[in-house]
Structure 1
Amino acid sequence: MLRSFVCVLCCTISLTGCQPFMSEPSEFTTTLRIMSTSDVHGQMLNYDYFAGHDITGQGLIATATLIEQARREQPLNLLVENGDLIQGSALADYVAEDFPIQQQTHPIIAMLNALEYDVANLGNHEFNFGLDFLAASYSDAQFPVVASNLVVSASAPEQLQNQLQRLVWIEREVVDPTSGARVPLSIAVIGVTPPQIMQWDQHHLQGRVSADGMLSTTQFYAKQAREQGADVVVLAAHTGMPKQTPDPEDKEQTGWLLAGVAGIDALLLGHQHEVFPGTDAYNRLPEVDSEQGRVRGVPAVQPGAYGSHLGIIDLPLSYQPDTGWQVLNPLVSVRAVTADTPVAHELKPLLNEAHAATLKFMQQPVGSIAQPLSYRTARWEPSSAVQFVQRAQGWRARQLLEASGLEPLPLLSAAAPFAAAFSPDEAATKIAAGELQRGAIGDLYRYPNTLDVVAINGAQLRDWLEYSARGFNEVSASAENCWAALDQDVPHYNFDSILGVSYVIDIRKPVGKRVVSLTYNDQPVSEQQRFYVATNNYRANGGGDFPHLDGDNVVLRGADMLADVLLSYLRDLPGRHYDKAVNKHWQVIGCGGRI
């Protein structure tokens, strides 16, 4: 589905033909349409590999229909991919593990080539599979890749050094509809990603790249772009904004601060999977208009996740022969268009081979389980699925600790449910007892994290659990049921439980004072008691902003992705059969009659 690109009609068609071109343009107006996708996470098709059926409202193949429609409406346009593209789906996992990436074009990049993207920014998950995979993935991209705050060293793949650009220039020509004169329009695109990648994927990046701050980088390149003659400056920022708070300061979600940088005409957000405009999550922040799509007066859009929406910013432009181009900001239109639309079937052949290979990849038998593994109620009671992950982490961590020579300490294991539920009717991961297939492992552990082991004391352990315990709303007496008590602003992946200790969470108490009992081997945990905790590299290195977890107390790092650790754990069990019962080591009181 190649776009029929026309800047603006070169002439006005009439019965007598085209008007003759004049050498000098006059005053006129036009509109630049900026389209964005973000956080697609490898969801190319409208297909759920875990459920085994088609889905609506997701998949870049559905977003493609919106792209085509938007281009027909406004020929002067720009299409930007804003990161977290090549990770997060079964198809993406298949490519990372089995696809000949060095010899063939990555199927996801082939899709973007067909859609004729103009530029792509990198998200934090682009780095999950390492720099060599990243370089190979984008090697056949027919569009530039911007990474303004990434500094690539000589030790990084040479291919990557050549691919990434600090500032991307897009040149268009606009035809004056009156005189026929062609007027150049220079668009500069800045792209930034969270510098926390240096913590989250340290094992891939240390010594090979470094990441500067998003705000300082944007300030530098916005100024440079204007000095070099940019008519329009677009910021693709793989970041969101602080939610449900009036405080705009946040190390990871810097979108509000970025909107204050002088010279930015359009702000493309991502990372948080929100739809903006259209959410009230940012309403407590000053100068945020969640209906018109403005942040501190700057047009801003965030297009959800998995191809669910297409972000559109229409920038009216006025051209004056003496002064050049000017954005007519009060007339800017911003919207996020839903992808609940017919899919672009003509693109399916690009993905047929990868789709068939992914289905085969998912069906590989890897073991068996004696009881179902479910995340469904993991937000308010111990979960069989969470404990499967915790036990696998502990198994590998013990191997690493035995070989390390570190002092012996009690070993705990922390994990969160990735696909739990906020209500009884909401879908959640549940795997039936019996044969376990490769796809089920991907359903249980959807992120390419690796294993880290941290050393903490009892006071820090309690703070860790207290931070998870904020995942419940404050209740005055006792909530009618535990579903109603869940705080949906705390995502599932930020609700850790820790296997190896027993504890009680009383949600009637204020946040920070809810862990009313914490024991190890039936004895109260003291503040100075020391533990090792097996967790993932995202959490250990600051992901989720848990207290005391910033990478400084990591004592061991595993090399394998945790999905592979789960597979190895299964293979090590007698008959590859998992039959552990759920350990009811923690409970919540203050909901569902639990007092």
Structure 2
Amino acid sequence: MYLLFIMMLTACQPSGPVEPSRATLRIMETSDVHAQLTGYDYFSNQPVQRGLVHTASVIHAARTEVSLSVLIENGDLLQGSPVADWIVAGGAGDEHNGNPFIQALNYLDYDAANLGNHEFNYGLEYLAEAYSQAQFPVLSANIHWLDDAPGRLRKQIQPYTILHRVAVDQHCNELPVNIAVIGVMPPQIMQWDARYLSGRATMTDMVTAAALQVKTARAQGADIVILAAHTGMPKQTQNPKDTEQAGWELAGIPGIDALLLGHQHEVFPGTGAYDDLPGVDSGAGRIRGVPAVQPGAYGEHLGIIDLDLEFSDQQWRVVSTRSSIRATDSGYDSGFADKLQAVHQATKAFVAQPVGYTAQPLSYRRARLQPELAVQLIHQAQLWYAQHHIPAERLDDLPLLSATAPFNAALSAEDEQQGRYTEINAGQVTLGDIADLYRYPNTLDVVKLNGAQIKRWLEFSAQAVSEPEASKREQSWAWVNTDFPGYNFDSLFGLSYRIDPRRAQGDRILALHYGKQAVTDDMLFLVMVNSYRATGGGDVPDLDGSTLVYRSPDQIQDILVRYFRYLGENGYQEELVKHWNIEGIPTSD
């Protein structure tokens, strides 16, 4: 810092009679860290170049380059890794031991944190306890707490904050600058985490909430307004409007100087996913003229927006901007890593705990192309739970199906060759293996659907494959639509069917049968499905919460553990049931 101060002094210019003061504000963003903290993959047991211990090195370097900066966390911090699972299981996190994620943000001197949807996955009490330890403001402008919400949350969560900073201009004059940070997140959390939020909170849409708070912050003296929005934008479309991915509409709110995005795990500037949208410059990182960044996920990038400011007529104005993304590398904060050693070792011990046995490997390797045993295990565990833990009267004596998707499957021949997919060897199954198989804290729900709705669901899922150009049709991986996320590629166990990606969308599901009986539009089924999907996650037709008939209290990860324990020492012995296939695709490359 002393060297930076000397550089600033030597850079000072004599004050001129009319030359306005100038300064640069650097805005740094992390988002969708998903509990990646220690720079270690607890599934492969290998160090990795991601997580806040690596991001910290990039943050420190970026800070030293400027005299005025703010650092903002943009949501989905608390969930997504075995470290989070260990904390929730009681390993740490209370007011005495400290939540490692919040302590990490304190250590790195974050100036504000916006909430994301996954912050709510473990309930409001956990959320309140975690952020009670924050030494920075916690934001969300579009959630409104009801009387039954924890009192601490009503005090902790603010719609916006104003950071009072001092800018040093080119004449070495110190001038105050008031920086407002406003936070918003998808209102769909009222569906996705209804078990925690129903009767305890309400939501407004992001655009309405943000527009109101921009006006309020400006009236309170904000010179610069930053919108931290845990949302992205519609991809590969010219239609910019979406209530979950509202970034394009948010950029149109008057009075915003910088837009921080997240939620979609994209890297912006740098991705072409939004190029069809009007007014999006993915090279310069501008959306409708507003500088914007989105730093991917897992702490692998730091988003940076530099605002060049000019002070005249007693106010600051933005005269130029630069948006950029910095990737992490092998560098890391060794002091930070030392502080995390106890957490790291405890997490390693936690995930190594045995829960059962499998007679053969459980893999997601080619689950985007064919049935795989790892997917089937989840199906069978969900059906076992329904038959053993849901009251029979709630099941209406209807046929039971199970829906799930491959969360970490290969997408290409390179992925397959490099082992970039979940693979659990035959033998002992650990808690870490369970977390690798099922990476989200969803509970298990039951939806009631007719045959026509079932077919619409499968037609939606069939977007996961598409016919490639003629020269690539003999390459099986070329049939995978990599723009369609694996977590939306649901299969329905209990049915048999074929997917023909050569046919028009909406007419790709063929020979749909339940046993030997063809599925008709009016047949009724109960489907075991995760709470995210049952309440609208992924925008699957007819899955918007209206078809929900039963909500279990149990997370699917816990159900998998209980299923293995039920199976006993013989473990999982099932053979693969090839209940669906893709027409036209080669069986091997």
**Please, what TM-score do these two structures have when normalized by structure 2?**
0.95
Q: Is the 2:34–2:77 contact (alpha carbons within 8 Å) kept by the matching residues of 1?
A: yes
**Aligned partners of 1:163, 1:541: CA distance in 2, in Å?**
28
Distance 1:10 1:165, change over 3 A: farther
**Aligned partners of 1:278, 1:256: CA distance in 2, in Å?**
16
The alpha-carbon deviation at position 9 of structure 1 amounts to 7.7
**Aligned partners of 1:406, 1:380: CA distance in 2, in Å?**
32
1:186 to 2:178 alignment: yes
Q: Is the 1:5–1:75 contact (alpha carbons within 8 Å) kept by the matching residues of 2?
A: no
Summarize the alignment of residues 446-465 of structure 1 with structure 2, pairs less than 5 Å apart: 446-465=439-458
The alpha-carbon deviation at position 118 of structure 1 amounts to 0.2
Amino acid at match of 1:90: P
Amino acid at match of 1:316: D
1:513 to 2:507 alignment: yes
Q: How many aligned positions are there? A: 582
Amino acid at match of 1:67: I
**Aligned partners of 1:465, 1:376: CA distance in 2, in Å?**
21
1:370 to 2:359 alignment: yes
Distance 1:482 1:565, change over 3 A: same
**Aligned partners of 1:25, 1:449: CA distance in 2, in Å?**
61
Q: Is the 2:145–2:200 contact (alpha carbons within 8 Å) kept by the matching residues of 1?
A: yes
Q: Who is 1:563 aligned against?
A: 557
The alpha-carbon deviation at position 133 of structure 1 amounts to 0.6
Structure 1 residue aligned with 2:213, among 213, 221, 229? 221
Summarize the alignment of residues 299-448 of structure 1 with structure 2, pairs less than 5 Å apart: 299-320=291-312, 322-328=313-319, 331-426=320-415, 427-448=420-441
The alpha-carbon deviation at position 543 of structure 1 amounts to 0.6
Amino acid at match of 1:327: V
Amino acid at match of 1:389: I
Q: Who is 1:164 aligned against?
A: 157
Distance 1:491 1:114, change over 3 A: same
Q: Who is 2:572 aligned against?
A: 578
Structure 2 residue aligned with 1:86, among 60, 78, 82? 78
Summarize the alignment of residues 45-60 of structure 1 with structure 2, pairs less than 5 Å apart: 45-56=38-49, 58-60=50-52
Amino acid at match of 2:236: Q
1:262-309 alpha-carbon deviations (Å, 9 max, x no partner): 111000000010000001111111110000000000000000100110
Distance 1:522 1:275, change over 3 A: same
The alpha-carbon deviation at position 474 of structure 1 amounts to 3.1
Amino acid at match of 1:559: P
1:175-200 alpha-carbon deviations (Å, 9 max, x no partner): 3443x543211111110011100101
Amino acid at match of 1:459: A
Q: Who is 1:492 aligned against?
A: 486
In structure 2, list runs of 5 or more residues that go unmatched. Answer: none
**Aligned partners of 2:468, 2:170: CA distance in 1, in Å?**
64
**Aligned partners of 2:15, 2:7: CA distance in 1, in Å?**
9
The alpha-carbon deviation at position 397 of structure 1 amounts to 2.0
Q: Is the 1:287–1:296 contact (alpha carbons within 8 Å) kept by the matching residues of 2?
A: yes
Amino acid at match of 1:337: R
Q: Is the 2:364–2:372 contact (alpha carbons within 8 Å) kept by the matching residues of 1?
A: yes
The alpha-carbon deviation at position 486 of structure 1 amounts to 0.3
1:33 to 2:22 alignment: no
CA RMSD of aligned residues (A): 2.2
Q: SS of the counterpart of 1:573?
A: helix
**Aligned partners of 1:400, 1:528: CA distance in 2, in Å?**
28
Q: SS of the counterpart of 2:9?
A: coil
Q: Is the 1:168–1:190 contact (alpha carbons within 8 Å) kept by the matching residues of 2?
A: yes
**Aligned partners of 2:485, 2:545: CA distance in 1, in Å?**
22
Q: SS of the counterpart of 2:144?
A: strand
Q: Is the 1:238–1:269 contact (alpha carbons within 8 Å) kept by the matching residues of 2?
A: yes
**Identical amino acids, percent of aligned pairs:** 50
Q: Is the 2:93–2:100 contact (alpha carbons within 8 Å) kept by the matching residues of 1?
A: no
1:273 to 2:265 alignment: yes
Q: Is the 1:506–1:514 contact (alpha carbons within 8 Å) kept by the matching residues of 2?
A: yes
Structure 2 residue aligned with 1:590, among 578, 584, 587? 584
Q: Who is 2:279 aligned against?
A: 287
**Aligned partners of 1:269, 1:25: CA distance in 2, in Å?**
38
**Aligned partners of 2:198, 2:514: CA distance in 1, in Å?**
36
1:12 to 2:3 alignment: no
**Aligned partners of 2:443, 2:587: CA distance in 1, in Å?**
39
**Aligned partners of 1:213, 1:587: CA distance in 2, in Å?**
40
Amino acid at match of 2:299: G
1:470-494 alpha-carbon deviations (Å, 9 max, x no partner): 1112347792132110000001101
In structure 1, list runs of 5 or more residues that go unmatched. Answer: none
